Amino acid sequence: MIKDRPQRLGLIYINQPLYFVTFATRDRKRIPSFDRAQLALEQYAHCAIAKFNVALGRYVIMSDRIHLFVRGDRSLILSSWVGGLKRAISVRAKIAAALATRIL
């Protein structure tokens, strides 16, 4: 244990956890089209609500990364959902490289 590190919180949710997700382009390359990236993100979010009971909250699209809030039920496998989102954005925005992920 690292000295003076605060203790982690215990379980603070029951059925629908809220995640803050950040992912960036590989090698910090610029997202070529914010409009296409936003359209892909919104279409994926509408599909997620209808098919998987997953809701997309507030989000920010920056030049080389995206920050967003995601809420789903206990069956949500966040890594798979984010992977699908990254593929959808990559195809739509024509980002050549895959996106790297960091979930906070």
Residue ranges of domains in the chain? 18-103
**pLDDT for 22:** 93
Band (pLDDT 50/70/90 cuts) for residue 98 is very low
In words, the CATH class of domain 18-103 is alpha beta
The pLDDT > 70 percentage for the chain reads: 80
Q: Over the stretch 64-91, which tens digit does the pLDDT of each residue have?
A: 999 999 998 888 888 999 999 998 888 8
Higher pLDDT, 71 or 93: 71
98 phi/psi in degrees, rounded to 5: -70, 165
How many angstroms separate the Cα of 14 from the Cα of each of 51, 74, 99?
Answer: 22, 8, 30
**pLDDT for 65:** 93
CB-based burial label for 50 (10 Å; 0-12, 13-18, 19+): exposed
Report the predicted TM-score, pTM, of the whole model to 2 decimal places. Answer: 0.73
Higher pLDDT, 67 or 29: 67
**pLDDT for 75:** 85
Dihedral of the alpha carbons of 1, 79, 91, 67, in degrees to the nearest 10: -50
Amino acid at 93: A
